[in-house]
Amino acid sequence: MKKMADFDKESFKKDVINNVKNLFRKTIDEATQEQVFQAVSYAVKDHIIDRWIATQKAYEEKNAKTVYYLSMEFLMGRALGNNMINLTCYEQVKEALAELGFDLNVIEDQEPDAALGNGGLGRLAACFLDSLATLNYPAYGCGIRYRYGMFKQAIENGYQIEKPDNWLKNGNPFEVKRPEYEVEVKFGGYVATECREGKNYFVHKDYQAVRAIPYDLPIIGYGNNVVNTLRIWDAEPVQEFNLNSFDKGEYQNAVEQANLARNIVEVLYPNDNHYSGKELRLKQQYFFVSASVQRAILKFKENNADIHDLPNKVTFQLNDTHPTVTVAELMRILVDEENLEWDDAWDITCRTCAYTNHTIMAEALEKWPIDLFQKLLPRVYQIVDEINRRFVLKIEDMYPGNQDKVRNMAILYDGQVKMAHLAIAGSYSVNGVAQLHTEILKKRELRDFYEMRPEQFNNKTNGITQRRFLLHANPLLADWATKKVGDGWITDLPVLEGLKKYATDKKAQKEFMDIKYKNKVRLAEYIKEHNGIDVDPNSIFDVQVKRLHEYKRQQLNILHVMHLYNELKANPDMDFEPTTFIFGAKAAAGYKTAKLTIKLINSVADVINNDKSIKGKIKVVFIENYRVSNAEIIFAAADVSEQISTASREASGTGNMKFMLNGAVTLGTMDGANVEIVEEVGKENAFIFGLSAEEVMKYEKDGGYYPMDIYNSNPKVKKVLDQLVDGTYSNGDKELFRDLYDSLVMKDVYFTLKDFDSYADAQKRVNKAYKDKANWAKMVMLNTACAGKFSSDRTIEEYAQEIWKLEKVEVTL
C-alpha cells in the first residue's frame, strides 16, 4: 500500500507536541485524548494545506471545467481517519502516536461525526466527493454548515428522544473560514420595476438580508495530491446587534437579524409538518443555493470574460429536489445582474444545470405553496412564473388540446410550485440512481417528461467509496484482500474479482471467516458497552440499518421476529441456528409511525432478550444514534444484509453495497440496486423474496389487494398482529401499538402482510444455508469479490464523461 513520501515521523511527533502546547497550554503528558485528537488533526492539516493550494492553482492554470455538487446533506462521517488514509500516511501516523503513548483508534474515537446529513442521500454525496478528488476531477460540494445537524438519537424507555447534536462544540480542526468570499442572500420584501434607458429593470426592495460566510473543508483524493473542497455556508446577520433598538428597550428588535441568520443554519431539515417549518426549510434551500451560485459565477468571471461560456466551465448538479431553486436563481443572476435577454439566459441555464432524481415517492418530490414561495422569494417567484408560462406554451404546442399533459407537467399548478418539474424544465440531464429506478421514472413517475425529451434521461447507478467502507472500516479484510490480489482495488474496485478463485479454497475460506468472526466480536463488544446486551458472535448477525420509513419495512422484519419467537415458544427444540437481529435507524422527528416502530422494536427486544426459556436463540438489538462511525463497525460484522423495501420504492440504496463489499449476503426484494447486486453475484448467492416491482405497481393501478383477507386467512400473521393489541409487548397496554395494527390491517400500503410468508420462507433459507459452513463461506466471499461495480469511482467516471464532460487535472507538489 502507498506511503506518503514527504512524511517525517519525528517532525510529525514534534508538531503534535507543539500543537498541544500552543492550543491548550499543556504538555503532551497532561493532554486529554480529545486534546490529542485536536493536535493530531492540526498536524495532519499541515500536510493537507500545501496540496490544497497546489490543487487550486492547477485548476486555475488549466481553467478547468468544475462541477458544483449542490446538496442539502453531506454525511461525511469522521474526517481524521479518512484524511490520513487518502494522504497515505495512516500507518505512519499510527506508529508516531504509538511512540508518543497513544492508540490511534482511541484518538479517532474522540471526533464527533460531522452532523451535516441524515441518510443515504447525504452519504452518497460524501462518497461522490471522495471519488471526484481521487479521480482528479475539479469539484466543489456545496451545502450548509448546520450547527446542530439533525439530532442525536437517544433511546429512553424504548422511545426515540431527539437531543441536540452539538458537533461543533470543540470546533472543527479541518475547516477553514473564508470571510473574503461572503455574499448576501435576500428574503421577503417586494419587487419594483424601474425603467432606465427604455429597458425595464426589476429591483428587490424592503428585503431582509443575511450574510453567507463559507467554511471550506478539504476533500482529499487517494494518493494523488488532489484536495478538492466541500464548501458549507454559515449565516451571519448583516448587522449583528442594533444598539439603537437596545437603547430604546426594544431588546427583541436588537437581535432580530442575528436570530434570522442563526435559525437558517441551526438544524438540518427542520420539522416541516407546520407552516413555519416549511418556511424555514425553503429559506435553507434558497440560502445555500443563492450563496453557491453567486460565488460560482464570481469565480467564473475571474478567469472568463464572456458569461456565455458558463456552460463550458461550470455544471451545477442538483442532488434531488432540495437545490432545484438553482434553475430560477441562475436565471435571476443572468437576467437581473448580467443584463442578458431571457432567451439567452435560459439557454445558458439549461446547459449548466443537471438534476439527479433520488425518489419515486410522491411526498419526497417537493412542492411549495405558492403564497409561501412568493412571499419569501418574490423575484425568484416571478422568474419561476415566467419559466412556467413559457414551458406550458411549449407543452401546448407539442400536445395541442391535451390538458392532462399540462396538469402533469406544469411547474405551477394547484396552488403549488413543483420543484422536480422546475429542475427537469431547466436541466440538460435528468438521471435516476439504479437501472430499475430509472426505468420506473421513464415509464411511470416522469413519463410525460421522458416522452417530451427522451435524450435528457439517463441512469447512473449509485456507488460507495471502498476507501472508507473497506480500507478504513474493515482493516482486517482490507489487508487480507491486498495479500491475495494486490492493493489496486483501493482505486479500482473490480480488482477484487481476483478473489473469486479463493471462494472454494478451504484455507482462504477459514481466513475470511476468521476475519468475519473477529469483526463480530468487535460489534458484540460495542453492543455490550452501549446496550448492555450480551450477543453471541457465533450467532447469525442479521442486520437492518437505515433511515426508518414504512417503505423500508422495518415493520416486516420485527413482525417476523415476533413470529419466530412464537415458533420457538411452541417448539423450544426446533432446528434453528441462533440469530441476533440488529436494527439501527433514526426516525424523522415528526414521523409518528416511524417513531412508534422504534418503540415496538425495543419492546419486542425487552421481552425476547429476557426470556430464558428460548436459551438465547434469538436476540434483538436496537443500536441507538446510527451514524457513519458506528456503521463502519456494523457493516464489517454483518452476515445478512436486510434490504427488504417494497419493490419499486427504493431508488437505489447504498447500504446494500457496503454490506456486500464487507462479505454479507443480501436478503431482499428485487428493488433498487438489489437487482444489479443479484446480477453481479448471482441469485444463488442472495436470498430474494416478495412481490416484483411490476406486481406492486399493478396492484397500485388496478387494486385487488385486501390486507384483511391475509389477516383472516393466515394464522401466523393474525397471531403477530393480534399481539400488537393484546398487551404482549406493551405491559398490558392494548392501545400502545393500535395505530400500527390499524395501518397494516386496513391499508398496508407497503404490502408488508402480502410479502410476509415469502419473507419468512427466505429467512428459513438463510437459517438453513448458514449451517453449511463451506457453502456459506463461498457465498460471502463471492459477495466481496463481485462488489467491483458498486464503487462510487465507477459512478463518478460515468457522470464525468457522460453528463459533466470534465477533464482530469494532475496536481504536483
Tell me the C-alpha distance between 187 and 133, whole Å: 35
Q: Give the whole-angstrom CA distance, residue 535 versus residue 348.
A: 59
Pairing, β 139-144 against β 66-70: parallel
Q: Which of 211, 552, 649, 754 is catalytic?
A: 552
Catalytic status, residue 658: yes
Query: Can you give 272-307 as a three-state secondary structure string?
Result: CCCHHHHHHHHHHHHHHHHHHHHHHHHHHHHHCCCH
Q: Which of 13, 204, 211, 358 is catalytic?
A: 358
- Residue 228 phi/psi, 5° resolution? -85, -175
Active-site residue, 418 included: no
Q: Are the beta carbons of 666 and 656 closer than 8 angstroms?
A: yes
Q: Cell 462518497: give the residue.
A: 127
Phi, psi of 176 (to 5 degrees): -125, 120
Rounded to an integer, what distance in angstroms lies between the CA atom of residue 694 and that of residue 588? 29
| Active-site position among 152, 281, 468, 546 | 546
Q: Catalytic one among 421, 619, 658, 778?
A: 658
Catalytic member of 204, 367, 547, 754 = 547
Give the closest residue to 638 by CA, choosing from 624, 655, 659.
Answer: 659
Q: Can 283 be counted among the known catalytic residues? A: no
* Torsion sign over Cα 756, 598, 661, 227: positive
Q: Confirm whether 389 is a catalytic residue.
A: no
Element (H, E) at 316: strand 314-319
CB of 373 within 8 A of CB of 351? no
Determine the Cα–Cα distance for residues 218 and 55; give it in Å rounded to an integer.
Answer: 11
Contact 560, 763 (CB under 8 A): yes
Residue type, position 236, single letter = E
3-state secondary structure at position 657: helix
Q: How far apart are CA 794 and CA 459, in angstroms?
A: 13
Residue 122 to residues 190, 403, 577, 675, Cα–Cα distance (Å): 34, 37, 36, 22
Ranges assigned E (strand) in 349-409 = 353-356, 367-369
Q: Where do we find the cell 439557454?
A: 347
Distance between terminal CA atoms of the chain?
21
Residues 295, 314 contacting (CB under 8 angstroms): no
For residue 204, give the H/E element and its range.
strand 199-205
Pick the closest to residue 392 from 418, 370, 368 (CA basis).
Answer: 418
CA pair distance 649, 755, nearest whole angstrom: 14
Residue tagged active-site, from 229, 654, 666, 752: 654
Taking CA atoms, 687 is separated from 564, 669, 672, 760, 778, in Å, by: 18, 9, 15, 11, 15
Can you tell me the distance from the alpha carbon of 750 to that of 431, in angstroms, rounded to the nearest whole number?
Answer: 25
- Give the phi and the psi of residue 101 in degrees, each rounded to 5: 95, 20
Q: Is 248 a catalytic residue?
A: no
Q: Is 563 a catalytic residue?
A: no
Sign of CA dihedral 180, 182, 183, 186: negative
- Report how far residue 378's alpha carbon sits from residue 331's, in angstroms, rounded to the nearest whole number: 14
Instruction: Report the C-alpha gap between 51 and 48 in whole angstroms.
Output: 5
DSSP type of residue 490: G
CB 514 within 8 A of CB 324: no
**Residue 172 to residue 177: CA distance in whole angstroms:** 11
Q: Which residues are catalytic?
A: 358, 546-547, 552, 654, 658
